């Protein structure tokens, strides 16, 4: 039932790879030899180091924050649930420039410290700056998936461990963390692929990774086959990350085998750790959200004081909402057959389909955009220069965001429930509609929200594929900031953050307990 749509989704995701293969086939010997030069190996090393650093520190931030905002009596827990997820709406190129303006040479911090005799701060450029920006703006990928997993855990398992003599720490490491494993891995995969494909932060922080080198080749070199060959190497790195994900995930089952517990888990009293926990959450929010929002407000007020018009760009806002919403819906629908194929029918074909579906997330937006331009001009001219092509590009780029959340939700649904429904005479479609779908709706909604948020801030694909005169909030911010009109960039940037925060606030504060109460038992 799901094989045909899953295969079709996987083939659609391969269009950029087909474009790269065509470019690679026409490449010269010199272009292929470029892959084995020392400079290319250095780029691979820098890119790998950045991915490892960002993913590792994102886990260290996200898992404790998910626990604090899901299971404890942290003061104003609902507020922190929203605020800790909000950095996901800040584009990396905006975040990088804002951090440079605060922490860079002659930045706000240095000017504030000059009366104390500090005339030079450590350089923020390079790996430290790129990693800092990407960690603070991408850890919510893991946070949101882990929060969803926390809400679906069966508290009876933890209570049984405590009854058998395990303390809180032992229960956390022996019972809770193993159940969170699929959510942590899914979120980490998104962070790793997002870091691999990022252009905004690495370019502004002057840390040359594959995406920056590929962009320079597209912009400056007449022979684009070199960029195509480098992009194929980037795809190879993405596939390697997906293979590591598959190996790490293993074949452990995470759904329960019994009836489980329908009640919520007991709230953990932090006691004397309440205020250190509050300080930790506050520090992360200030660094990831407070500094960018504060600098944007500074630009906005400064511009208004000197007579700059307040540009809210309502048409750009509508365009952003329409294309991002359409992409979120299509990606959520496409993620269902692929997730069902991977989880319920594991095998060589499902592994291939899964890897095909994840490759687009590791490609720079400019590569995907140029690939779709090539195919639209040659094979689908009616959709060229239409919003439909832009929506399709978003789906290719961000389908893994929907896939990770849907797959994590489906892993917690016991196949015995579906077998029982089939045994009672229900067909495959009816079983999916009445049994499986209601249980995985929270994961589907979370995946759709992630796609919506990422699509709202997507830049390169929007610049290339958007119809003539088509503006989104992201392109409006980019146009103003590249011309150094920072006051004009502030209003659409703040509007982008506010609009994106609405679905985020709804999802992170919604109680998914009843619909995801299928706890975890594994063997």
More confident of the two residues 471 and 345? 471
Burial of 260 (0-12, 13-18, 19+ CB in 10 A): buried
**Is the pLDDT confidence value at 61 over 90?**
yes
- Say how far apart CA 447 and CA 357 lie, in whole Å: 14
According to the model, what pLDDT value does residue 322 have?
Answer: 94
pTM of the model: 0.76
Query: Helices 365-379 and 15-25, interaxial angle, to 10°?
Result: 90
- Say how far apart CA 15 and CA 19 lie, in whole Å: 6
Tell me how crowded residue 107 is: count the other CB atoms within 10 A of its CB.
17
- Give the pLDDT confidence of 374-410 residue by residue, as tens digits: 888 888 888 888 899 999 999 998 888 888 778 877 8
Structural element, H or E, at residue 168: helix 168-171
Q: How confident is the model at residue 158 (pLDDT cuts 50, 70, 90)?
A: low
Residue 263 C-alpha from the chain's centroid: 31
Q: How confident is the model at residue 71 (pLDDT cuts 50, 70, 90)?
A: confident
Q: Classify domain 1-23+308-523 by CATH number.
A: 1.10.3720.10
Q: Classify domain 37-208+275-303 by CATH number.
A: 1.10.3720.10
Tell me how crowded residue 223 is: count the other CB atoms within 10 A of its CB.
14
More confident of the two residues 362 and 521? 362
Residue with tokens 């609902």: 78
3-state secondary structure 495-518: HHHHHHHHHHHHHHHCCCCCCCCC
Q: Which of 179, 217, 226 is nearest to 26 (CA)?
A: 226
**Terminus-to-terminus CA distance in the chain, angstroms?**
28
Across 40-68, average pLDDT: 91
- Give the pLDDT confidence of 18-33 residue by residue, as tens digits: 877 777 777 777 777 7
The token pair at 268 is 């953990």
CA distances for 497 relative to 79, 259, 297, 300, 412, angstroms: 16, 42, 12, 14, 33
According to the model, what pLDDT value does residue 159 have?
Answer: 52
Q: Which residues contact 193 (CB under 8 A, 6 or more apart)?
A: 238, 241, 358, 361, 362, 400
Average pLDDT, the chain: 77
- Say how far apart CA 425 and CA 449 lie, in whole Å: 35
Report the sign of the C-alpha dihedral through residues 163, 164, 168, 172, in that order.
Answer: negative
More confident of the two residues 293 and 503? 293
More confident of the two residues 182 and 172? 182
E-state strands within 205-301: none
Domain boundaries, the chain: 1-23+308-523, 37-208+275-303
């Amino acid at each position: 039932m799901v094989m045909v749509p899953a295969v079709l989704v996987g083939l659609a995701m391969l269009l950029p790879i087909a474009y790269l293969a065509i470019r690679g086939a026409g490449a010269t010997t010199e272009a292929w030899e470029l892959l084995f030069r020392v400079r290319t190996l250095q780029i691979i090393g820098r890119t790998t180091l950045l991915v490892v650093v960002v993913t590792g520190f994102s886990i260290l931030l996200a898992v404790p924050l998910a626990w604090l905002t899901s299971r404890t009596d942290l003061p104003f827990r609902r507020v922190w649930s929203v605020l800790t997820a909000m950095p996901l709406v800040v584009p990396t190129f905006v975040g990088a420039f804002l951090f440079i303006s605060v922490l860079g040479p002659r930045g706000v911090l240095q000017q504030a410290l000059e009366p104390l005799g500090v005339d030079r701060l450590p350089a923020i450029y390079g790996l430290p700056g790129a990693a800092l920006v990407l960690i603070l703006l991408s850890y919510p990928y893991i946070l949101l998936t882990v929060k969803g997993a926390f809400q679906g855990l069966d508290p009876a398992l933890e209570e049984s461990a405590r009854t058998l003599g395990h303390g809180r720490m032992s229960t956390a490491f022996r019972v809770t963390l193993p159940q969170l494993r699929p959510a942590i891995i899914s979120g980490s995969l998104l962070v790793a692929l997002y870091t691999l494909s990022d252009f905004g932060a690495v370019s502004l922080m002057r840390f040359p990774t594959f995406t920056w080198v590929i962009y320079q080749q597209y912009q400056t070199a007449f022979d684009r086959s070199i960029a195509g060959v480098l992009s194929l190497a980037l795809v190879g790195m993405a596939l390697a990350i997906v293979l590591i994900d598959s190996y790490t995930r293993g074949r452990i089952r995470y759904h329960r085998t019994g009836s489980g517990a329908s009640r919520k888990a007991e709230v953990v009293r932090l006691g004397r750790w309440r205020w250190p926990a509050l300080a930790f959450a506050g520090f992360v929010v200030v660094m990831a959200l407070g500094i960018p929002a504060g600098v944007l407000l500074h630009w906005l007020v400064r511009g208004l004081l000197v007579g700059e018009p307040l540009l809210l760009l309502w048409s750009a806002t509508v365009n952003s909402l329409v294309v991002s919403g359409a992409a979120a819906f299509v990606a959520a629908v496409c993620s269902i057959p692929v997730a069902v194929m991977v989880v319920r029918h594991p095998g060589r074909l499902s592994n291939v389909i899964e890897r095909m579906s994840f490759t687009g997330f590791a490609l720079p937006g400019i590569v995907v955009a140029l690939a779709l331009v090539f195919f639209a001009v040659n094979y689908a001219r009616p959709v060229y220069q239409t919003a439909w092509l832009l929506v399709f590009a978003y789906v290719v780029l961000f389908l893994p965001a929907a896939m990770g959340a849907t797959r994590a939700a489906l892993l917690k649904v016991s196949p015995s429930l579906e077998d029982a429904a089939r045994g009672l005479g229900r067909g495959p479609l009816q079983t999916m509609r009445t049994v499986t779908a209601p249980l995985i709706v929270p994961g589907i909604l979370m995946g759709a929200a992630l796609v919506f948020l990422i699509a709202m801030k997507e830049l390169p694909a929007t610049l290339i594929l958007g119809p003539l005169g088509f503006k989104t909030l992201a392109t409006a911010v980019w146009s103003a900031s590249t011309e150094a009109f920072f006051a004009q960039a502030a209003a659409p940037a703040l509007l982008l953050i506010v609009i994106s925060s609405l679905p985020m606030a709804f999802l992170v504060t919604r109680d998914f307990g009843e619909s995801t109460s299928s706890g975890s038992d594994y063997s």
